[in-house]
Amino acid sequence: GAGVSQTPSNKVTEKGKYVELRCDPISGHTALYWYRQSLGQGPEFLIYFQGTGAADDSGLPNDRFFAVRPEGSVSTLKIQRTERGDSAVYLCASSLTAGSNSGANVLTFGAGSRLTVL
């Protein structure tokens, strides 16, 4: 697609519920990233995919968070047993490549999924 698409744009759920957030990156971008942005803060790294594999999931806060990218394109961030502290905007980004100092490495962000846990 022309840009990074994220769905849903807004999700309200109750504490303890399971949530899935979807990201469709720019066509041809091999690198995909998930970030989380809380109010008044900068985005915080969660996980990075190169192709189908999670190259770095060191930013995931705990084992309730999991992400997949089975075919190397669309990714889903899954949150189990949601807590009020999970409320934030979840941003997905993609880039053509990763790890080099070039324009191909520049991240383009989606509009985000705002998660509210009541």
Partner 1 sequence: QKEVEQNSGPLSVPEGAIASLNCTYSDRVSQSFFWYRQYSGKSPELIMSIYSNGDKEDGRFTAQLNKASQYVSLLIRDSQPSDSATYLCAVKSGAGSYQLTFGKGTKLSVIP
Q: Which is nearer to partner 1, 19 or 47 (CB)?
A: 47
3-class state of residue 106 by DSSP:
coil
| Contact track, partner 1, 17-46, x by CB under 8 A | --------------x-x-x----xxxxxx-
What part of residues 78-107 is at the interface with partner 1 (CB under 8 A)? 91, 98-101, 103, 105-107
Note whether 86 and 117 are within 8 A (CB).
Answer: yes
> Min. distance of Cβ 1 from partner 1 in angstroms?
15
Nearer of residues 13 and 108 to partner 1, judged by Cβ: 108
DSSP strand pairing (5-7 vs 31-37): unpaired
Spatial distance between the Cα atoms of 6 and 67, rounded to a whole number of angstroms: 14
Instruction: For residue 42, give the nearest of 103, 89, 107, 77 by alpha carbon.
Output: 89
| Binding region for partner 1 (CB under 8 A) | 31, 33, 35, 40-45, 48, 50, 55-56, 59, 91, 98-101, 103, 105-112
